[in-house]
Structures are given as structure tokens and as C-alpha cells.
Amino acid sequence: MKRLTWFYIAIGIAFVGVLPGLAADLSGSWVFRRSGPDGTSNDTYFRLKQSGNEVTGFVQQRLNLRKIDSGSVEGNKFTLKVTTMFGGQPRVTTYEGTLENDGLHVKVIPPAGGRGRGRGAGGGRFGPSEMLAVKTDEKEGLPPAKIPPPALHEVRYNGLAKTPPMGWNSWNHFHGQIDDPGVRGIADAMVSSGMKAAGYVYVNIDDTWQGTRDANGDITTNKRFPDMKGLADYVHSKGLKIGIYSSPGPLTCAGYAGSYGHEEQDAKQYAAWGFDYLKYDWCSASAIYEDSDMHAVYQKMGDALEQSGRPILFSLCQYGRANVWEWGPKVSGNAWRTTGDIRDAWESMSTIGFGQNELAKWAAPGHWNDPDMLEVGNGGMSADEYRTHMTLWSMLAAPLLAGNDLRTMSDETKSILLNREIIALDQDKSGHQGHRASQNGETEIWVKNLENGDIAVAMFNRGSSPAEIKAKWADLGIERGKKARDLWAHKDLADATTGYGATVPAHGVVAIRVSK
């Protein structure tokens, strides 16, 4: 009888332990499992330690461990706050909820202005807005053990990208919605729109094509890409080349399988399918490696591509960290991202584009700074802003990867992407990256020396009302212009032997080619 009483008291204590007003114990690992129908995973782990009313630990989204800055529990109600950096700004995500008998009931309050956009399974960067996380083993879901990257050596230059790569990439417009018919349609449109004739050649599939790994560890595709070899053959039959995407981490940024521990196998697979271009995106590698490991980690894929037996353009995507321009060429990188992700907005595009001046000296044939893909035609900017985008990227000798839906382009978008006189600045064989020659308030004049001795002069107005800009050739190191041509109006300019002045629209540009 006595024993039974103690038994009921014990049960009672255990039960009231999770009732409001009494201390619950959140300590341990809790998981909300969520995977998509096409091979993505987007699990959220709460790895918590409770001491009194204080909760410490981590919230883990896929493989990203984020430290809890402040956590508290009152009865069975808890609040956890996690700060992440986005575009250089701190943003706080709040997880609040209750501990119930079946687990943690969590409500996610994303940071103000945070991107909740769906990427792969299960909502955006912060997970879905409500979840039930169940208790799990401490070890479940932790990032795999670190495979030490190989010792540094130089990878032989693959001979590609003598001028900046040109083509199209699926991410900016389609995100996770790209599929085989879509890619074929884009390849068709690249030819029929005249883009192929203007120099665009790569049709690049970004994140979200992957399935799981088979019994041999070979990467498979998800159902949106039933036949990669067939797709590559199709794109090649149009006289174009095709690109693919992966990550040195176990998961890509959208939560699909990355190449971690399978680098050689994947490079061989891409070659067997017929791919000509790889964008290799750091993403979850940050859960395993430090930034100081990046050089060696990218070198591993550089080696694997070299050994694949197929020339594959190697595009590094690690958001400009670890001074990638210093070692990018040494891993046979043909281009390296210099910034975080671009958005289809003036603020994003102009901040990125006008911020590239200091990197000019690192650009050279075969090895290019990459300020991210084009947003031209995606609808978030005005035609003047898109002309600035196209001009600036060309002055920067940046990769020109269109990021819009080529199948439904307006004439205006075509006139921007197909401006051959601007494209010629980008594709100039000298491989120089242009630089800012002068700045006056919100107006800037950029200059780029071209192979035949001509000089490109771009007069940008970053202000929100029209501005007079005057360029004197003598100030820009040009002795005397024999001929000057407006590259957007497609007109030779009279009276421009010593300089040129124009009213430049808000957020717009006047681009001139001066012949000596």
C-alpha cells in the first residue's frame, strides 16, 4: 500500500512537472522532422540545456547550428531567441511555445523583413511557422565528422572562360520550381531570341535538381529531372552548353544532397551526363569546415573536375569570403562570387555592383570576379535600373548569366540583354575589370580600357532624380577622342572630341565608347 502511494506521488510529480507554473525540463535534443517529396530535408533540432529558468543551447536548421542568445522558461512556457546575420544586419528569430506531454509545441516568429520564401521542403530559412518537436537521441542529425581536406597544391588551369562566362541560370527566377521541360524551353528561347548569337552559351541548372544517393553512393536526380543525359544532349543539340550545381557540404543551400565525401564520384557523374559547368556553393560546408579550409575544400573539387576527363567550367560560390580572389585561380576556379545573393531590387543590385571597385586587379582571362547573376527582366527594377545593371556588370567583366524567364521576355528586356555593344565591353579580350574614375555626389564615372585601345566610359547616376554628368576625356587619361559612340542610343556622337556631357536619368546610365 505504502509503495503504491509513493508510486502515485512519483507519477503526480512527473505529470505536474509539465504543467504551467511549475518548472518543466527542456534539456535534451528535440526534433521536428520534415522532408519534401523530392529528396529535400528541412529538419529543425532544438538542442537545449535548462538550468533554473534559463535555457541555453542551439537551434539547428538542417545542418546550421545557431546559438541561442537568450532563452527562458516559465512553468511550461519557453522563449528562445536566435540572432542571424543577413546582409550584414543582425536579425532575431524568436521561438516560443510550451512543453507538453507529446513534445515541444513551437511557434516561430521570423525577424521583421526576414525571407520566409520556400526553399525546398518545409518553408523558408527559419522553418515552418509552427512545429511539434519530439525528444530524440542527442546524436541524431548532427553534422558528419570532418573529412580533412587534402594538402594544398596548385590545380592546373582548365583553359576555360578566356572571357567572362555568358549564359543563363535557373535560380533568380525559378528557385526550386525548375524542371526538365523548363530547361529545354529556356534552351530553345536562348536560340530563338538571338541570345545564343549574341554570345550567351551556358544553360545552368541551379539548386533543386538532386534526388538521393543510390546504393553505390551515386547521386540521382529527383522526379523533375528524369533524364539528365537526355537533357544535356538536348541542350548540346542546340549548340549550347549546360551547367549543374552542387555544394562541398552534405546539403545544398536548399537542403538537397551535396557532394560531401563524394567529390570524385560526382565530378565523374557530371562528366558522364555531359555537363560543362559546375557552380559549387559553400552552404552547409560551414557546419563542418572553417573559412580557412575553403581553399583546400574547393581544391578537392578542382582536382576531381580535372580528373573527370571533361572540361568543366568551375564557378566558386562562397559569397566572397576568405579572400577567394587570392586563391580562386589556384583551384582552377574560373569565377568566384564576391558577395552574398543579389535580389531583384535597386538597393541590392547597386550596392553590390558599385561595391566591386577594389577587386578590379584580381580579374583576368580564365578567372573572374562574380558579383552574382543578372536580374534583368525579373520585374523588380525599372528599365533604366536594368540598363545600369547590364552596363555595370559589363564594365566589371562579370559573368553575364541572365536570371529571367527567357521564354516570355518583353522587347525591352531583350533590348537590354541583347545589346551587343555593351556585351562587347564585358567580353573584351583584354580581360580588364573597369574601375571608378571619379565620383561626384551620387554620380560616378567608370572607365574600362579595351583591347584595341578604345576606352569605355560609363556615366552612372545613382540619385533618384535626373543629373547632369560631364566627362572630360583629359581627366580620364584619354588624350583626345577621335570618335565617340553612345552604346545605348546606338549612335555616333558629334562634338565629343574632348569630352561629353549628358542628362542621365535617375538610377540610369550613359555608356560611351571612345576611340583614340
Contact residues for ligand GLA, defined by CB under 6 A: 171, 206-207, 252-254, 281, 317, 341
Query: Closer CB to ligand GLA, residue 170 or residue 269?
Result: 170
Q: What are phi and psi of 54, to 5 degrees?
A: -100, 140
CA-CA distance, 499 to 199, in Å (whole number)? Answer: 31
Pick the catalytic residue: 281, 344, 405, 426?
A: 281
Which residue number, 258 or 434, has a Cβ lying nearer to ligand GLA? 258
Known catalytic membership, residue 281: yes
CB of 418 to ligand GLA, least distance (A): 24
Contact 434, 396 (CB under 8 A): yes
Neighbours of 482 (CB within 10 A): 11
Backbone angles phi and psi of 414, in degrees to 5: -60, -40
Active site residue 495: no
Of the CA atoms within 13 Å of residue 19, those in its CB half-sphere come to 5
Q: Which is nearer to ligand GLA, 206 or 454 (CB)?
A: 206
**Contact between residue 318 and residue 282 where contact means Cβ atoms under 8 Å apart:** yes
d(CA 513, CA 483): 8
Shortest CB 34 distance to ligand GLA, Å:
17
Using the minimum distance from each CB to ligand GLA, give the nearer residue, 266 or 281: 281
SS3 labels along 415-435: HHHCCHHHHHHHCCCCCCCCE
Smallest distance, ligand GLA to C-beta of residue 219, A: 16
Which residue in the list 291, 341, 384, 486 is annotated as catalytic?
Answer: 341
367, β-bridge pairs: 364
Min CB(171)–ligand GLA separation in Å: 5
For Cα atoms 71, 73, 78, give the angle at the middle one, nearest 5 degrees: 75
As measured in angstroms, the least distance from the Cβ of 206 to ligand GLA is 5
User: In terms of CB distance, is 254 or 496 closer to ligand GLA?
Assistant: 254
Nearer to ligand GLA, 73 or 253 (CB): 253
Q: How far is the CB of 188 from ligand GLA (least distance, A)?
A: 24
What span, in angstroms and rounded, lies between the C-alpha atoms of 364 and 433? Answer: 8
Rounded to 10 deg, the angle between the 383-395 and 346-354 helix axes is: 20
Q: In whole angstroms, what is the distance from residue 292 CA to residue 303 CA?
A: 19
Instruction: Report, as residue numbers or ranges, the catalytic residues.
Output: 281, 341
